[in-house]
Structure formats: structure tokens, C-alpha cells
């Protein structure tokens, strides 16, 4: 064998060895990339499942809160309706003179401590002088108290709403 043939044989062996090594490295890298891709897909699936679970929990929480707020709203509407009905009945009774509003009159200091000798179930102020209000004035007073009652009911509903929304769950 000539030195040229030996050189060509050595070079061919080196090229074949390098190509084989290159191919083996390519297979290893491909396998590692496939494993990483599988792990990446598994991680993405876990993240997606966790996000979906959290979204469902948040949606359930929101639905529960909406349901509770709807119940509170219904309760508020019922309280307001009851208060309006009560005020309407009182206004009607005032209009028909079935009920008369009255106010306590100021008394002289000497008669302030007067107590009636008989027990009365009519009121808690004994022997007090009272003046009956005109029906129109009484109805205006009832209208004012009606607006106040509605305001208090609305305030209570707002407070209940804020407590519900701010309550830790």
C-alpha cells in the first residue's frame, strides 16, 4: 500500500467516523428535543388545567355572590314594598280621620309632674295636653317620614351589599 492510499484510507475512516458521530449526536439531540417537547406539553397541560380549575372556582364564587345579592335585593324590595304599604294605609287612615296625629303641648313647670290617678293603656304620657294636627299637615308629615323610611331601607340594603362584597370568603 502506498502512502497515498493509506492517507486516503485514514481520511475515509475519519470522514466515516465523523459522519457516524454526527448522526449519533443528531439522534441524541432529536431524542432530547422530543423529551423536552413532551415535558413542555405536560407542563402546558398542567398549567391549562390549573387555570381552568381556578376560572371555574372564580365563576362559582361569582355565581354564589350574584345569587346572594339577588336574594338581598329581593329582600330589600319586599321591605320597601312593606314600608310603602304601611305608609299608604296610614295616609288613608289619616285622610278618613280614622286616626289623628297629635303633638304634646308645652306645659307650665308646675304641672309638668302631674300624673293621672288611673292607669291608661292609650299612651305613655299621663295627663298631657295634646293638640291634634290638621289632616293635610299630618299627611305631609307622613310623606316626610315615608321618604325617610325609604332612605333608611335603601341605606341598609347598601350596607348589606358592601358587607357581602367585602366579606372574606
d(CA 87, CA 139): 10
- For residue 115, what pLDDT is reported? 47
What pLDDT band is residue 90 in, cutting at 50, 70 and 90? confident
What average pLDDT does this structure show over 124-129? 61
147 compared with 40, residue with greater pLDDT: 40
pLDDT digits (tens, 9 = 90+) for 97-125: 777 777 777 765 554 444 444 444 455 55
Share of the chain above pLDDT 90, in %: 28
Cell numbers for 74, please give them: 329581593
- For residue 151, what pLDDT is reported? 87
- For residue 164, what pLDDT is reported? 78
- For residue 61, what pLDDT is reported? 92
143 compared with 101, residue with greater pLDDT: 143
102 phi and psi angles, rounded to 5 deg: -140, 160
Tell me the pLDDT of the chain averaged across its residues: 81
On whether the CB atoms of residues 136 and 95 are closer than 8 A, the answer is no
DSSP codes joined into one string, 104-169? EPP--GGGTT---SS--SS-SSTT--EEEPPHHHHHHHHHHHHHHHHHHHHHHHHHHHHHHHHS--
26 compared with 130, residue with greater pLDDT: 26
What average pLDDT does this structure show over 54-59? 96
What average pLDDT does this structure show over 40-69? 94
- For residue 51, what pLDDT is reported? 96
pLDDT at residue 37 is higher than 70: yes
- For residue 107, what pLDDT is reported? 67
Amino acid at each position: 500500500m502506498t502512502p497515498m492510499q493509506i492517507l486516503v484510507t485514514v481520511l475515509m475512516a475519519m470522514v466515516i467516523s465523523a459522519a457516524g458521530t454526527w448522526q449519533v449526536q443528531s439522534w441524541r439531540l432529536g431524542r432530547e428535543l422530543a423529551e423536552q417537547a413532551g415535558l413542555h406539553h405536560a407542563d402546558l397541560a398542567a398549567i391549562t388545567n390549573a387555570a381552568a380549575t381556578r376560572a371555574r372556582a372564580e365563576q362559582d364564587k361569582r355565581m354564589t355572590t350574584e345569587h346572594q345579592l339577588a336574594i338581598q335585593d329581593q329582600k330589600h324590595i319586599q321591605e320597601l314594598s312593606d314600608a310603602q304599604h304601611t305608609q299608604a294605609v296610614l295616609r288613608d287612615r289619616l285622610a278618613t280621620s280614622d286616626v289623628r296625629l297629635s303633638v304634646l303641648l308645652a306645659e307650665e313647670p308646675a304641672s309638668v309632674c302631674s300624673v293621672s290617678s288611673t292607669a291608661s293603656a292609650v299612651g305613655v304620657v299621663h295627663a298631657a295636653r295634646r293638640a291634634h294636627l290638621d289632616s293635610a299637615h299630618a299627611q305631609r308629615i307622613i310623606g316626610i317620614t315615608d321618604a325617610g323610611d325609604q332612605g333608611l331601607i335603601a341605606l341598609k340594603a347598601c350596607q348589606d351589599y358592601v358587607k357581602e362584597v367585602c366579606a372574606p370568603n
